[in-house]
Amino acid sequence: MPRRTTRDRLAYSAGKPFAAWRTTSALLCTLLCALLVLGVFPNHSEASRVVGYYPAWGIYDRGFEIADLPGEKLTHINYAFANLVGGQCVLGDPWADVERHLPGDPWSGPGSDVPYFGNFHQLDLLQEQHPGLQTLISVGGWTWSGNFSDAALTPASRAQFATSCADFMEFYGFDGIDIDWEYPGGGGLSPNTSRPEDTENFTLLLQAVRSELDARGATHSRHYLLTIAAGAGADKIANIEVEQIHPHLDFINVMTYDFNNAPLYPSPADPTSTPGANADAAIQNFLGRGVPADKLVLGVPFYGRGVQGVANVNEGLFQGFTGTPMGTWDDATSGATGMFDYADIAVNYVNRPGMDMYRDSDSGVPWLHDPSNGFFLSYDDPASLALKKESVLTNDLGGVMIWEMSSDLEDQLLNAVVPDMPPPTVPALNPGGLGLLATLLGWAATRRLLRGRESLLGSREKNASG
């Protein structure tokens, strides 16, 4: 797919009349489908993996259960997280993981028929409904990565880690292990232990786990999965031996959302942009270091990041800020994180009076700005994820990974990345419509395709350019 260089800001305010554009929305949706059928977009085999992280804490304030997962749309569920204590994999939240009883669970207590309850039992039930669905226990994560360096330090510690994690995987019925060390060599939480030797030891740790899983797989005549969640920044990638680790892995989940927002491409107008701080650059970095394309899984966020106190200049884009707003699940204990679930964004922010929406086609993501109070929010929506899905197909990548599933209650974002789903619906051109076509094809191609509607396109382009 050609790189976009024209910055297309699609601004609207809730309540403004868009009658002329609404009359064309059905035409545009039909046209998008026709373009796919006629081969206007690149023709690639569909990426096979849709990996969704399920957070153990989803059962609490969010009320999001394993049973709420759309198993028919996912290929893998990564359960977040198991903890790492004393060099061994242990339950992260025992009550949520295996102790909590749900309706339909037997009350006789753990026994030979039901050795555990909680979320892990619910995963078993979900797999009974969707036999092709695979589950992995994800170990570590941002909060629990502090002990990885010690676990990877010696042959004995690596063997202990591999054995304990494989035992955990087998006992609780998982199909594999996902290692989420944030990060080898440092860069995670400040109390985390890190060493210069982490780079080599990470490779040796993965070798030990792979050997343990292969031995158990041979016994049970099956293959157990081993994956990692990898940092996307150039500094994080430099601290792992990419060429040595990928032969031991089934695939690599690249966390391409850990930038300022989740840009697909760089925005030349961004004065703070760090070279390589975008999803495409991260993927190209891994490809350049020898990872097969089908082993790379593009991470996408189902959340947005907000700030406040942003000046009413350049629609809020690339401006400084004075504070962080309370996010979707923030309280007095957590403090303000500025993290917003997409479900919250779609319902409570996109159509809020006075909230303007814009889209930067260089980076491929939308943002919201309220000039009256300086609120600014960058996030992914169905249109931007359709572009990322197309990038996955263009680069013949191995699929998409989602962080995380409890943030998209209506599957609006999920449907945009599932391989066999149609293009996202474009309601009244907000925020996609002509903009989505223009982003994918360029304004000139869009004019040719909608010949006879030059007056509408001309007006739209004027609005987009200011």
- Name residue 222's amino acid: R
Q: What is the CATH number of the domain that holds 101?
A: 3.20.20.80
> What CA–CA distance (Å, rounded) separates 362 from 73?
30
Q: Is residue 291 part of a domain?
A: yes
Q: Which two tokens stand for residue 329?
A: 């699940």
> What CA–CA distance (Å, rounded) separates 359 from 339?
20
Q: Is residue 21 part of a domain?
A: no
- In tens digits, the chain (466 residues) has pLDDT values of 333 332 333 333 333 333 333 333 344 444 444 443 344 333 333 458 999 999 999 999 999 999 999 999 999 999 999 999 999 999 999 999 999 999 888 865 555 578 899 999 999 999 999 999 999 999 999 999 999 999 999 999 999 999 999 999 999 999 999 999 999 999 999 999 999 999 999 999 999 999 999 999 999 999 999 999 999 999 999 999 999 999 999 999 999 998 777 899 999 888 887 888 999 999 999 999 999 999 999 999 999 999 999 999 999 999 999 999 999 999 999 999 999 999 999 999 999 999 999 999 799 899 999 999 999 999 999 999 999 999 999 999 999 999 999 999 999 999 999 987 765 543 333 334 444 444 443 433 333 333 332 322 222 222 232 2
Q: Which two tokens stand for residue 12?
A: 């609207």
Q: Is residue 15 part of a domain?
A: no
> What CA–CA distance (Å, rounded) separates 421 from 454?
31
> What CA–CA distance (Å, rounded) separates 3 from 22?
29
Q: Is residue 52 part of a domain?
A: yes
Between CA 69 and CA 78, with CA 73 as vertex, the angle to 5 degrees is 55
- State which residues form the domain around 206: 47-301+381-419
Residues in the chain: 466
Q: Give every CB contact of residue 254 below 8 A, 6+ residues apart in sequence.
A: 230, 232, 279, 282, 283, 286, 296, 297, 298, 299, 401
> What CA–CA distance (Å, rounded) separates 164 from 162?
6
State how many domains the chain has.
Answer: 1
* Residue-wise burial string across 356-374, b where 16 or more C-beta atoms lie within 10 A, e elsewhere: bbbbbbbbbbbbbbbbeeb
Q: Is residue 267 part of a domain?
A: yes
Q: Is residue 59 part of a domain?
A: yes
Q: How many CB atoms lie within 10 A of CB 85?
A: 14
Tell me whether the omega of the peptide bond preceding residue 431 falls within 30 degrees of 0, making it cis. Answer: yes
Place of tokens 């169905």: 382
Residues annotated catalytic, as ranges: 182
- Burial class of residue 108 in the structure, from the number of CB atoms within 10 Å of its CB (0-12 exposed, 13-18 middle, 19+ buried): exposed
Q: What are phi and psi of 456, to 5 degrees?
A: -65, -45
CA distances from 298 to 77, 139, 161, 449 (A): 15, 19, 27, 31
> What CA–CA distance (Å, rounded) separates 172 from 92?
13
Q: Is residue 132 part of a domain?
A: yes
Per the CB < 8 A criterion, the answer to whether 386 and 424 are in contact is yes
